[in-house]
Amino acid sequence: QVQLVQSGAEVKKPGASVKVSCKVSGYTLVELSVHWVRQAPGKGLEWMGGFDAEDAETVYAQRLQGRVTMTEDTSTDIAYIELSSLRSEDTAVYYCATAFAVEPAAVPLYWGQGTLVTVSS
C-alpha cells in the first residue's frame, strides 16, 4: 500500500515562494508517478502538474507554467513542489497524489493528507 505524508501548513506573503514536500512509503518514487493537485476553499480539484509516464517527463498545467517546479529526491523518496510569486488566489490545500509508473495515462490512486498554504499580507 502506498502512503503519502506531506509537510505542514504554511503562511506566506504575496510574492513569496512556498515549497511543500511529500514523503512516499510502501513503494519507491521510481515506481510511482507523482502528481500535485490543489483545492481552493470551497472549490473543486485542480491538477497542477505531474509525471507523464508515457512520455517520461514532468508536465505542468499551462496556467502555472513559469511559477511551478516539481522535483524528486529518489534517495529519500520525497517529492517536492515549489510555487513562486504567490498570490492570494494560490491559497488552497495542496495534495500530492500518485499512480503507478508502469501504467501510462494513469489517474492518481493514492493521496496525501494535504497541506494548507495560506497567502496573506
Interface ranges with other proteins (CB under 8 A): 35, 37, 44-47, 49-50, 52, 54-55, 59, 61, 95, 97, 105-114
The secondary element (H helix, E strand) that includes residue 48 is: strand 46-52
**Residue 77 CB, nearest distance to other proteins (Å)?**
19
Alpha carbon distance 107, 81 (integer Å): 18
**Residue 71 CB, nearest distance to other proteins (Å)?**
17
The secondary element (H helix, E strand) that includes residue 57 is: strand 57-60
Nearer to other proteins, 9 or 109 (CB): 109
Nearer to other proteins, 13 or 42 (CB): 42
**Residue 23 CB, nearest distance to other proteins (Å)?**
15
Residue 118, CA distances (Å) to 3, 12, 81, 86 in order:
25, 6, 15, 10
**Residue 4 CB, nearest distance to other proteins (Å)?**
9
> In 10 A of CB 103, how many CB atoms?
12
